[in-house]
């Protein structure tokens, strides 16, 4: 699957911050201890994408998901 971005479900996130440890250039933690992802459209290098995928796998609440590439018009 190709991905264009990352989504954090704020209802599921419990602020464990594993995502921030794995991909600090992508994730941030709010004052309420809820993670969020940078809104750059997924324009990261391969190493960063690998870190993001590791963060998705490591999230204990499975609150992080990859947004699929749009196939609209293809």
Per-residue pLDDT of the chain (74 residues; tens, 9 = 90+): 567 789 999 999 999 999 999 999 999 999 999 999 987 666 889 999 999 999 999 999 999 999 886 655 54
C-alpha–C-alpha distance, residues 18 and 20, integer Å: 5
C-alpha–C-alpha distance, residues 3 and 41, integer Å: 9
Listed in sequence order, the residues at least 6 apart from 72 whose beta carbon sits closer than 8 Å to its beta carbon are none
pTM, to two decimals:
0.83
Contact yes or no for 71/29 (Cβ under 8 A) = no
Listed in sequence order, the residues at least 6 apart from 60 whose beta carbon sits closer than 8 Å to its beta carbon are 14, 16, 18
């Amino acid at each position: 699957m190709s991905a264009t971005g990352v989504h954090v479900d704020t209802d599921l996130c419990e602020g464990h911050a594993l995502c921030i440890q794995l991909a600090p250039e992508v994730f941030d933690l709010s004052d309420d201890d809820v993670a969020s992802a940078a809104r750059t459209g997924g324009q990261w290098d391969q190493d960063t994408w690998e870190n993001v995928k590791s963060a998705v796998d490591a999230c204990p609440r499975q609150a992080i998901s990859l947004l699929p590439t749009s196939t609209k018009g293809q």
